Amino acid sequence: MPELPEVEVFVRNLQPAVGQTIQRANVLDHRLNLDASLIEGLSIEAIARRGKHIVIHLEDGSDVVVHLRMSGRLRLHRSPEEVKYTRLELVLDSGDTIYFVNPRRLGTVTYCPVGFAPSLGIEPLSPEFTSHTFATLASKSRSPIKLFLLDQRKVAGIGNIYASESLWRSGISPQRPANGLSDSEMCRLHENIIAVLNDAIDGQGTTLGSSVSDYHPSVGEQGEFQNHLSVYGKEDEPCERCGNAISRLKQGGRSTYYCTSCQN
Ligand SMILES: [Zn+2]
């Protein structure tokens, strides 16, 4: 599933659409429940990321919010073209088109007439995400730290890959209760969350497979951060810090990868 870095890469690549007007919206999947007439003729004021959502701000104060879920993508193409599994096309006045491609139809598009008001937690790449704020949030939770990191109402945008990676970088066991970490551990984890997310954005995100459902930052391209993962998907491989075999654990129905020797 695209997490914060992958969604951020899509958002950055969509920036040329800002300032353009949506001439036509072709809704090609009835499940999307979007009335094209509400957004046609409006200009795009901004395209931003909030957690794992892509928010298209329109000039009348409304937002079109796209959540990619497992396999979706949202891309700008310079000339009209047939793109397989396209569920929505936003044709802009320059002739550019934004394509919402959604092979497994799990992604969603939501129209918010008065703007997007999500119950999402703090943005980990915003200035508000200080180690103090992070520690205060964690001190109120008895959940294992890995599950705390996945809770979008606490910190927005971190998913399974980057939670595992930031805990490994910090040498912290994913099973520790969030409120049981020391100040210095919280400080380290805070720093490593920011670092791993920025490293992944710099690497254009993580592409784990080669199917049409996998994340691709642009046509025919893959992210490259999968080459820099230390634990995620590496069960039984040697830990690059201590040589111990990486373990896999189920937490909240999801796999957690970690090193039982150097993550305490
Ligand atoms: Zn290790």
pLDDT band for position 221 (cuts 50, 70, 90): confident
Centre of ligand 1 from the C-alpha of residue 150, in Å: 22
- Give the model's pLDDT for residue 245: 98
CATH number where 199 lies: 1.10.8.50
Q: Clarify whether residues 103 and 159 are in a common domain.
A: no
pLDDT at residue 89, rounded to an integer: 95
Q: Which of these three, 112, 141, 156, is where a domain ends?
A: 112
Indicate if 3 belongs to the active site: yes
| Residue 122 covered by a domain | no
- pLDDT above 90: residue 214: no
Based on the fold, state whether residues 153 and 82 are members of the same structural domain. no
Residue 118 in any domain: the answer is: no
118 as an active site residue: the answer is no
Residue 59, domain CATH: 3.20.190.10
What protein residues have CB closer than 5 angstroms to ion ligand 1?
239, 241-242, 244, 259, 261-262
Mean pLDDT computed over every residue of the chain? 95
Q: How confident is the model at residue 150 (pLDDT cuts 50, 70, 90)?
A: very high
**Arithmetic mean of pLDDT, 33-49:** 96
Report CA(155)–ligand 1 centroid distance (Å): 26
Q: Is 75 a catalytic residue?
A: no
Count of domains in the chain?
Answer: 2
* pTM across the whole model: 0.94
Going from the Cα of 130 to the center of ligand 1, the distance in angstroms, rounded, reads 27
The Å distance, Cα 169 to ligand 1 centre, comes to 10
Is position 123 within any domain?
no
Is residue 174 in a domain?
Answer: yes
Last residue of a domain, one of 112, 144, 179: 112
**Domain match, 108 and 135 both:** no
Cα 164 to ligand 1 centre (Å): 13
According to the model, what pLDDT value does residue 230 have? 97
Would you say residue 80 has pLDDT above 80? no
* 80/146 same-domain check: no
Give the Å distance between the CA of 109 and the centre of ligand 1. Answer: 41
CA of 238 to the centre of ligand 1 (A): 8
Q: At which of 112, 145, 172 does a domain end? A: 112
End-to-end Cα distance, the chain: 27
74 close to 54: Cβ distance less than 8 angstroms: yes
What's the pLDDT band for 82 if we cut at 50, 70, 90? confident
Same domain, 140 and 195: yes
| Same domain, yes or no: 11 and 44 | yes
**Any domain includes 74:** yes
Q: What is the tens place of the pLDDT at every residue in 153-203?
A: 999 999 999 999 999 999 999 999 999 999 999 999 999 999 999 999 999
Establish if 252 belongs to a structural domain.
yes
Q: Which domain holds residue 11?
A: 4-112
* Catalytic residue (one of 49, 52, 146, 154): 52
Please report, rounded to a whole number, the percentage of residues in the chain having pLDDT higher than 90.
86
Judged against a pLDDT cut of 80, whether residue 81 lies above it is answered with no
Told to judge if 84 belongs to the known catalytic residues of this protein, a careful annotator would answer no
Catalytic residue from among 50, 75, 105, 254 = 254
